[in-house]
Structure 1
Amino acid sequence: MSVVCLLSLGRCSTVAFRSSTGMVAVRYAQTAAATAPQPRVKKFQVYRWDPDTVGDKPRMQTFEIDLNTCGPMVLDALIKIKNEMDGTLTFRRSCREGICGSCAMNINGGNTLACLNKIDTNTSKATKIYPLPHMYVVKDLVPDMSNFYAQYKSIEPYLKKKDETNEGKEQYHQTVEDRQKLAYRWMIDSRDEFTEERLSKLQDPFSLYRCHTIMNCTKTCPKGLNPGKAIAEIKKMMATYKEKKSAVA
C-alpha cells in the first residue's frame, strides 16, 4: 500500500471520527433539551409606593418568575425580584425561620410571614402581595412598627419581682404544669409578682375587651398558638380580680 493510500485512510478515519463525535454531541444536546424542565412562569403582583417620589401613588407592579429557578417560599420570590429584577423593591426580612416576624405581610388576602408562606404553584393564578393592612406604610411592603412597639412596651413584657434581693441567681423555679400555662405570659407566669398590677391596667374598654373573639389571630399565628383562647382566659382572670377588688372595698 502506498503512502498516499495510508494517508488517505488516515484522513478518512479522522473525518469519520469527527463526524461521529459531532453526531453524539448533537444527540446529547437534543436529549438534554428534551429532558430539561419546562419553564413554570408565575406572576407576582406586588404593592409599590415610594413616599420620596413626588406624585407617586400606590400601585401594583407585576413580576414574572420561573419557579424552576426560585426557592419554594414567597420570601424567596421577593429576594429574587430584588436581586435580579428591581433593586428598589423594599421589604423587611431577617431570620427566615418564622421567629422574628420581620417579613410579616398580606399574601393573597391573608396576613402571614413570607418566609413560611409557600408559593402557590398554580401558574394560572397570580400571587398578590401587600403590606399589612392595619398599619401605616413606610415604603412598598414595609409597615410602620412604631405603634406596635409602643403597645408592646406598655405591657412590660418581662418578669417582674417585688423582692429583688436575689437578682441574678437561679432561684425562680417552676413546675412542669406551671410551665405549660405560659401561653399568655406574663399574666399567668407563676414567677411574676405583678399580676394584679397588670390586670389593673386592662380596666378600660380599649384593651382586653376590644377583642371580639373573631379568632383571626389564632388562624394566622405562625407558631400555632391560640391567642384567642389566651385572651378568653385573661377575661376570666379579670372577672376574679374585679370580685376580689369589690370584696376588699
Structure 2
Amino acid sequence: MATPTMDKAEAAGTPEPGFADTPYITATFRIRRFNPEVSDQSEWEDFEVLIDPKERVLDALHKIKWELDGTLTFRRSCAHGVCGSDAMRINGKNRLACKTLIKDLNPDKPITIEAIKGLTVLKDLVVDMDPFFQAYRDVMPFLITKGNEPTRERLQSAEDRERFDDTTKCILCAACTSSCPVFWNDGQYFGPAAIVNAHRFIFDSRDEGGEQRLEILNDKDGVWRCRTTFNCTDACPRGIEVTKAIQEVKRALITRRF
C-alpha cells in the first residue's frame, strides 16, 4: 500500500517553526482509489496530512489533491453543506465531507473515505448519479396545477406549508438513497430521496398531481420496497425524517387522503 506523506515544512498553510505549540496533528486518510484506465479493481491508499483537527474532511481532501496527488478525484462545490455534491462514506457512514470535522472522527486512527454505495463508481470518490436523478425526475418534482394560470400568487396557510416543510430541505446529495440496503441490491428501486421529493409535492395543498405521483410510487419498484431500516434517516445530513415521510406516502396510498 503506497503511503505518500506531506513534509511539515513544505505543507501549505502550516505554522511557522514552533508548530509543536499549535493544534496541528498528522492524520492518516485511507482512501479507496479506483481508476478504470489503470485497473478494474479498487485499492486503498494512505495519505498522511498535517492538519488542524478542527478542519473538515473536505479540507484534507483539498490538501491531498493540491499537494500530494493531483489525480485524486472527488466532487465538491459550495463547501457550506447545502449543495450535496461531496457525499461520501467516511469511516463507514454516509456524510458530507464539508460538514464532517476531523476531530469528530477519532483522528488517532486512519480515517477511511470511499465512494457512496449502490451507484457505479466512475473514478475514486465520484459515482454515476444518472440513475439517482432519473428516479428524482420520474416522481415529477414540480408543482402540477390545472386550469388557467393565476393572476396572483397562490396563497397557502402557515399550517398547510408546515405539512411538508421537512421534505423541502432535501439537497439531493444521495446520502439517504445510497445508505439503503434495498437500493444496494436493486438499483431499480426509486430510493428514499425520490420518495422524499414526491412527498414534498403530494402534501402541498396547492398541487393537483398527488394521485399521479402516488400511482408512480405504487409500482413494484416504488414505496413498498422500503423495509423501514432507518438507514436513510440516520444518513441525512439535513436531519430530514426520511423514514417518516416514506411511511406517510404509504399511508396516503392506502387511504387516498393527503
Normalising TM by the smaller chain, what interval?
0.7 to 0.9
Q: CA RMSD in A?
A: 2.0
Task: Give the match for residue 25 of structure 1.
Answer: none
What is the letter of the counterpart of residue 146 of structure 1?
Answer: D
What is the letter of the counterpart of residue 110 of structure 2?
Answer: A
Does residue 201 of structure 1 match 2:211? no
Task: Give the match for residue 221 of structure 1.
Answer: 236
Q: Identify which of 128, 142, 145 aligns with 1:144.
A: 128
Does residue 210 of structure 1 match 2:225? yes
Separation in 2 of the partners of 1:218 and 1:189?
A: 22
Does residue 41 of structure 1 match 2:56? no
Separation in 1 of the partners of 2:84 and 2:111?
A: 20
Separation in 2 of the partners of 1:222 and 1:233?
A: 21
Counterpart contact for 1:103–1:115, Cα < 8 Å: yes
Within-5 A mapping of 1:65-214: 65-68=49-52, 72-120=55-103, 122-166=106-150, 169-182=151-164, 183=167, 184-214=199-229
What is the letter of the counterpart of residue 153 of structure 2?
Answer: Q
Per the alignment, in what secondary structure is the counterpart of residue 201 of structure 2? coil
Per the alignment, in what secondary structure is the counterpart of residue 80 of structure 1? helix
Separation in 1 of the partners of 2:50 and 2:64?
A: 11
Task: Give the structure, 1 or 2, with the largest relative contact order (CA under 8 Å, sep 6 or more).
Answer: 2
Task: Quickly say closer, same or farther: Cα 1:197–1:34, change in 2 above 3 A.
Answer: closer
Measured against aligned partners, the alpha-carbon deviations of 1:106-156 in whole angstroms (never above 9, x if no partner) come to 000001111111113644201000000111100000010010011011011
Identity between Structure 1 and Structure 2 (%): 41
Measured against aligned partners, the alpha-carbon deviations of 1:1-22 in whole angstroms (never above 9, x if no partner) come to xxxxxxxxxxxxxxxxxxxxxx
Separation in 1 of the partners of 2:34 and 2:20?
A: 42
Number of aligned residue pairs: 207
Counterpart contact for 1:138–1:144, Cα < 8 Å: yes
Per the alignment, in what secondary structure is the counterpart of residue 136 of structure 2? helix
What is the letter of the counterpart of residue 251 of structure 2?
Answer: K
TM-score where L is the length of structure 2: 0.75
Separation in 2 of the partners of 1:227 and 1:213?
A: 10
Structure index of larger Rg: 1
What is the letter of the counterpart of residue 192 of structure 1?
Answer: D
Separation in 1 of the partners of 2:251 and 2:220?
A: 16
Does residue 61 of structure 1 match 2:41? no
Between 201-210 and 72-81, the greater mean CA deviation after superposition: 201-210
Deviation, structure 1 residue 39: 5.1
Per the alignment, in what secondary structure is the counterpart of residue 75 of structure 1? helix
Counterpart contact for 1:107–1:128, Cα < 8 Å: yes
Does residue 50 of structure 1 match 2:30? no
Per the alignment, in what secondary structure is the counterpart of residue 212 of structure 1? coil
Deviation, structure 1 residue 95: 1.4
What is the letter of the counterpart of residue 179 of structure 1?
Answer: R
Task: Quickly say closer, same or farther: Cα 1:56–1:65, change in 2 above 3 A.
Answer: same
What is the letter of the counterpart of residue 155 of structure 2?
Answer: H
Deviation, structure 1 residue 72: 1.1
* Runs of 4+ that moved beyond 6 A: none
What is the letter of the counterpart of residue 204 of structure 1?
Answer: D
